[in-house]
Structure 1
């Protein structure tokens, strides 16, 4: 099987060595043992280099898209670029057995339609609520982003009609179910069985007031709600510290918010920390993982933290409430609600029995949801869709 996978990621080439900087790629890369070749479709950096996540093993290739920093830059491109992409996709797709396309995304739609025209099976992957994600922007940019998001969402649903669809979380599964009777809820996981055994020998930190938040520094990640919760906890006589791992466009804005609230010393920015020993060390110093996002697919960091025995406190968005149970495997709160988040953190800090239950049951949940289990669900769906087309 020659499986093509569209992901909106940047790839780097150093000679023949292909790599990328987003850990999500490790999940589809794990398919390599079960297919002849994986063709990743993504942006090729104009500069040669090496990123933290190499694609090794000889079964990977890249169908390179024009480089763009973000979707706004893409939309401002010469319209002829899209025609060139469609033309190249029609040639490339003749050799593909199936296409997995993460969306909505304008280039993903072009490639999907090229495959449909050639009779190549297309399987959409919906990782999160795209309209909700775009609504996190502000000002004029927000209006433009929402308008574009609604058009793209409408078009992606047309592509998904009568096809096998993979969604992250019950929310998007319910949205796409009327379009297809073959909607599968899945959770892309980077923790394989071997890594789970390594993680299971680790443990969370002993200080429940030391929290960690691992994500991109972007509006939809809801940092400001966590900061407001810290202020409220201070007023309740409970002082917590947050280690923030990640980079993004709003770092200076977040630092300004902390200064205005007077809690700068309660937050440490660690910048980008690659998946590996340095990140695991931060996990083991923390008492809990806190995610305050307003929209999500399913954050990989949850898989990692649960495997280590690091309890999770998160907002009830995206695929999170489909996988985690409040009070059993995590503490879940409504998005954009600092008071609810503060109360959950306070309950966690003051209740040792609750902390132990979350550690044990979270780790038990991950034992049955490793990379292999989730990978097999995707590949089974791909094989069934190919067989359906042949029939």
Structure 2
């Protein structure tokens, strides 16, 4: 493995940084393409489109990758409705990516995105100079996971539900993750069942100070533990195993990696019904689904899990089945064969 370092820019809105980085980025991509046979481009994004063009120019095999609904992602990050015209170029880029996916093999995160890109067939010799004559579906739904088979719990774990209940949220503290909703839900839970719940927030992000201020205003700042960034590994998995419930309230998603991690640890899940979440949780058979931005729905789902042991066990058992089928080893094998042009 070799890392090709590209010039850094903080945001597409910082045009000066972007322009200064552009030339070095294109040059770095061009040099890097000399040492590869296949290019897997995750997007759509502006430099991803440039990389696709350069790779095709150099007759490299190109595979597209899509992680989430692009328009929904950018829409959730707009400061206000006044920024809506900024979605026009995003829409154009997204449409172009869909058109490219008609000609290039494409991996997508989750069945929901796969339906948007649609099943297509392709024949031999159409994706660069390397050949690969197999005929197969050009769209591969995948699950992003780092959970190894050895990390999956062997049975439904037993937790003590008679004392304090720890809610766990893992992810960037950013707009599309909707962290302020978690604070509001915790405040309602505190009013209904005083001192019963604690929220552990794992992650960093630009809204961290806003979350702290909101928690102070609602009087629950002492019920929230800010865990900071915890990389995937034994320490993070132990947090899942210690928690009673994972709460995931994003406004937009592909298939959240944290869901698979929680299912593998046998931790019950409450998640917003967006993107590929419903499919990942087997339409609610592996976790409770709530509408996005519905604070009372989130509160009711948490209380339901706490009160209903049979429901918890059914959800966790189904979640373990899903996690065993979506381990790192299984997914890496499927995706690698797809990218290489072999059978799925």
Under TM normalisation by the shorter chain, which class is it? 0.7 to 0.9
Alignment partner of 1:125: what SS?
Answer: strand
Counterpart among 206, 213, 227 of residue 160 in structure 2: 206
Structure 2, unaligned stretches of length 5 or more?
122-136
- Measured after TM superposition, the shift of residue 315 of structure 1 is 0.9
Query: Counterparts of 1:223-242 in structure 2 under 5 Å?
Result: 223-237=179-193, 239-242=196-199
Distance (whole Å) between structure 1 residues aligned to residue 119 and residue 276 of structure 2: 19
- Measured after TM superposition, the shift of residue 288 of structure 1 is 0.9
Does the alignment pair 1:252 with 2:209?
Answer: yes
C-alpha spacing 1:204/1:249, structure 2 compared with 1 (3 Å): farther
Does the alignment pair 1:352 with 2:309?
Answer: yes
C-alpha spacing 1:116/1:301, structure 2 compared with 1 (3 Å): same
C-alpha spacing 1:76/1:323, structure 2 compared with 1 (3 Å): same
Does the alignment pair 1:271 with 2:228?
Answer: yes
Aligned residues: 324
- Measured after TM superposition, the shift of residue 91 of structure 1 is 4.2
Counterpart among 30, 40, 43 of residue 100 in structure 1: 40
Q: Give the alignment's TM-score, normalised by structure 1.
A: 0.75
Is the contact between residue 156 and residue 317 of structure 2 (CA under 8 Å) also seen in structure 1? Answer: no
Distance (whole Å) between structure 1 residues aligned to residue 120 and residue 209 of structure 2: 42
Query: Counterparts of 1:14-53 in structure 2 under 5 Å?
Result: none
Distance (whole Å) between structure 1 residues aligned to residue 202 and residue 158 of structure 2: 16
CA root-mean-square deviation:
2.6
User: Which residue of structure 2 lines up, in the alignment, with residue 119 of structure 1?
Assistant: 59
C-alpha spacing 1:84/1:214, structure 2 compared with 1 (3 Å): closer
Structure 1, unaligned stretches of length 5 or more?
1-59
Counterpart among 110, 113, 130 of residue 169 in structure 1: 110
- Measured after TM superposition, the shift of residue 145 of structure 1 is 5.2
C-alpha spacing 1:153/1:383, structure 2 compared with 1 (3 Å): same
Q: Residues 143-164 of structure 1, C-alpha deviation per residue, up to 9 Å, x if partnerless?
A: 4753443233233233323211
Distance (whole Å) between structure 2 residues aligned to residue 78 and residue 284 of structure 1: 42
Is the contact between residue 200 and residue 307 of structure 1 (CA under 8 Å) also seen in structure 2? Answer: no
Query: Counterparts of 1:287-306 in structure 2 under 5 Å?
Result: 287-306=244-263
Return the structure number with greater strand share: 1
User: Which residue of structure 1 lines up, in the alignment, with residue 128 of structure 2?
Assistant: none
Distance (whole Å) between structure 2 residues aligned to residue 346 and residue 282 of structure 1: 21
Counterpart among 87, 104, 112 of residue 146 in structure 1: 87
Distance (whole Å) between structure 1 residues aligned to residue 8 and residue 21 of structure 2: 11
- Measured after TM superposition, the shift of residue 348 of structure 1 is 0.5
Most deviating of 79-88 and 261-270:
79-88
User: Which residue of structure 2 lines up, in the alignment, with residue 379 of structure 1?
Assistant: 336
Counterpart among 99, 105, 130 of residue 158 in structure 1: 99
User: Which residue of structure 2 lines up, in the alignment, with residue 65 of structure 1?
Assistant: 6
Is the contact between residue 244 and residue 267 of structure 2 (CA under 8 Å) also seen in structure 1? Answer: yes
